[in-house]
Amino acid sequence: MLYPEQVQEKQNIRRRSNLAGFALLLTVVLSLGASVVIAVLMVLGVGFGMDTQTVDGVLVATQPNAYLITNTIYYLVAIGVPMLVGCTLLRSTGDSMSVRRSVSGSLWIGYLLFGMGMCVFANLVASATGAVFSVFSLYPAEMPLTTDGTWQNALLSVFSLAVLPAIFEEILFRGVVVTLLRPAGERVAIALSAMVFALAHGSLTQIPFAWILGVVFAYLYLRTGNLLLTMTLHFLNNTMAVLLEVATLSASEQQQATVFYVVFAVLALLGAVAAAFLRMHADHPLQAMGNSPSVLPDRERKKAAWLSPVVIVFILASLLMLPLNVEYDPDRSTETSVSEEQEESGLPWFDGDGNESAVITWR
């Protein structure tokens, strides 16, 4: 039996969770709608630069820059609109996201290095997950290579695959979703926001990578109150992938693997040093997390957030969409072609024969 003030708090948590779920569900609706429109236009002969061809076994966009521009427009519709709606819904609660709370320069660098180190860990998990899926001949849907080696293409790739995701996704998933869920408890806000962040990427191979980084980003956001920090980390993650792809475009597979392994090792070392440094400070991301003051039992707060009807609908819709981005191919080699997912990844993950990316860009 709950007291009146407890009932009121539970209703508030449920309402805020539903608002977060509505913004997330809008991403599903708009992405499906935009995909259908693009498919119909392509059938009618209006390609918008989305035409592809296979060159030496690699799927390539015939017009890389046009493909990136069309993908950017798609992204603005499918994620940009829900982000704006989410910001409006957050304001309707009288709450606001924390954008730039002061963080000292040394801690800022420590957080970034720690976060990039976690990217390496996330890739190891993604590598193991991908290996398991490949045993069952399951692979992510192949996306075309959109890199042509020119500086114009590199700039467009950075803008489309790094700048926009860093801003839009951090505002939506951390600024809006985490803030709305925080009254349910910080642990709930981190776990639930990371799960929906992973599911929103729409790929089985992306889920482990995106979930781990979703936890890290939400954790850092709540510890620092600085959304610019997670935006910067997200940007560095994606930009590094784009630039590495451009830099190794004409390199052999062995040369690419060598470059990526060196980057992995350096980031892992710097991440470990940063973690040790952060442990020496009181305000660091490795502290035990506590929940916000509440008159409602923890169990009831968790139920109010996790059992939000709109959040449940989003989760179910995202799960139903996962098979759309999976290919069953028993004849496919573990050495897959470079894909747009690889360009958008923070770092590639490796298996014994080749490499493929675990990604954190939204689909």
* pLDDT tens digits, 83-136: 999 999 999 999 999 888 888 888 899 999 999 999 889 888 888 888 888 888
Q: What's the whole-model pTM score? A: 0.87
Question: Quick one: tokens of 310?
Answer: 């709109």
Contact, 176 vs 196, CB < 8 A? no
Rounded to the nearest 10 degrees, the angle between the axes of helix 4-43 and helix 298-306 is 20
Q: How far apart are CA 200 and CA 75, in angstroms?
A: 13
The pair phi, psi for residue 71, each rounded to 5°, is -65, -35
pLDDT given at position 334: 45
What confidence tens digit (pLDDT) does each residue in 209-253 have?
899 999 999 999 998 889 999 999 999 988 888 887 777 777 777
Over range 294-302, report the average pLDDT.
89
**Count of domains observed in the chain:** 1
What confidence tens digit (pLDDT) does each residue in 6-48 have?
889 999 999 999 999 999 999 999 999 988 888 888 778 776 6
Residue 119 vs residues 164, 187, 227, 310: alpha-carbon distances, Å: 19, 21, 18, 30
Domain that residue 74 falls in:
4-359
